[in-house]
Amino acid sequence: MRWKAALIGIASLLLSGGGVALGIHSENLALLTALQTEQTALARQGWTLTWSRATPHAALLASRMTLSDLRLSGPLGATRLSYGCNVVTLSISHFSSRTTATFGSTHALLLARGPVPDLALRLTGNGITLAVHPTSGETEAALTIPAAHVEIDTLPSVNIPTPFTLDVHSLTTVARWQAARTTIQPLLTTDTTIDRLGLPQSIPGLGNTLDTIRIALSTSGFPETQRQTATPVTTLHLGEAHLGPAALALTGKLTWQNDPVGEFDLTLRGMDRAVRKMAASGSISPEIGQIAILLGRIGDVARTGGHTALPPTENGGSNINDLSTPETTISLPLRLREGAWSLGAMPLAPLTQWSGSITSRKIP
């Protein structure tokens, strides 16, 4: 009789396994149907979502589908967004509304008003994930990029020669979208941290790396329908980074009208130390280093209300190599008018010409 029990057990396993497989197949079909429904809904709003192939995967606790050659394009107010990725794997939990997207290694993004692009970039990197959790009236998304190489072909209203490249290390972004019914108007907030950002060119004496970057901003004023006209405004609540001994902080807002207008306040801390370090390394002349020392003295006087001086060197001059003095803080207005940035009354165009050659390879 044992053989009968064994047969019954095997049959039960086969039936249960077949039921699980059938359930997984049904869930994957439901996911594909949901994607096609979303595709149709986006088309009604002027967006296109396409892929060349959809490949389902077996999973017990989630529905999983890999989309090859994903393309997304549509209007964002007066701007048109186009995005593409070679592979995207979607995973939808059966027990929550959480959706996770794991991306392939190649991405391209284009923002354009008419035929001229405002922003064009290409990103390559592995292990990039996006987790989306919608709730009533609000959607939260978390983007993680362990490491990526970014090629920027076009930047909006920035007098920096393009193309150039950036190396991103350990980026995390948390974004929240609030619909108009929960706020006065639609609101998008983001909070981004980056451990390290490699610059396209080295700054003499300071290196080519920005460290400990934090960017917190919000954007409001999105048109709720294509027929509405609105002027989005981006508020930078906090932007900070470190470059060698110097720290930079930026706050302000940018109004996205036909001719964008920017009003920002830039705070520089430790720039006198940075200049002295550049002078000590021979990157700049000692005379400029002496100017930094003078700035440091002015800062000391402002802080103490008295007269201070740096320790003299053997030849009676000030000690350029001494970085132990208190940091000097400088605050300057940063403005965007008619497509040009200015720092106070000084246009930034002459200051943004990178020394040396920059790769001219275009993004396909």
d(CA 250, CA 154): 22
Asked, for residue 11, whether it belongs to a domain, the answer is yes
- Rounded distance between C-alpha atoms, residue 122 and residue 28, angstroms: 31
Range ranked top by mean pLDDT from 1-10, 118-127, 173-182, 336-345 = 118-127
Domain membership of residue 306 (yes or no) is no
Structural domain including 84 reads: 2-262+348-352
Phi first, then psi: what are they for 284, rounded to 5°?
A: -130, 170
List the structure tokens of 329. 């803080």
Tokens of 220: 């409001």
Give ∠ CA 232-238-239 in degrees, rounded to 5.
100
Identity of residue 18: G
- Reported residue count of the chain is 364
**Residue 312, helix vs strand vs coil:** strand
Give phi and psi for 199, each to the nearest 5.
-85, 160
Within a domain: residue 323?
A: no
Burial class of 146 by CB neighbour count within 10 A (0 to 12, 13 to 18, 19+): middle
Digit-coded pLDDT (tens) for 298-339: 555 555 555 445 444 444 444 545 555 556 777 888 888 877
Domain count, the chain: 1
- Name the token pair of 49: 């979502």
Does residue 253 contact residue 262 with C-beta atoms inside 8 Å? yes
Distance, CA of 40 to chain centre? 29
- Within-domain flag for 86: yes
Higher pLDDT, 39 or 247: 247
Each residue of 79-114: pLDDT tens digit? 889 999 999 998 887 777 788 899 999 999 998 887
Res 86: pLDDT: 94
Note whether residue 247 is domain-resident: yes
Q: Is residue 311 part of a domain?
A: no
164 in a domain, yes or no? yes
Whole-angstrom distance, CA of residue 330 vs CA of residue 145: 33
**Which carries the bigger pLDDT value, residue 329 or residue 216?**
216
Encode pLDDT of 255-302 as tens digits.
877 778 889 998 888 877 777 777 777 766 666 666 666 655 655 555
- 215 is a domain residue: yes
* First-to-final CA distance of the chain: 71
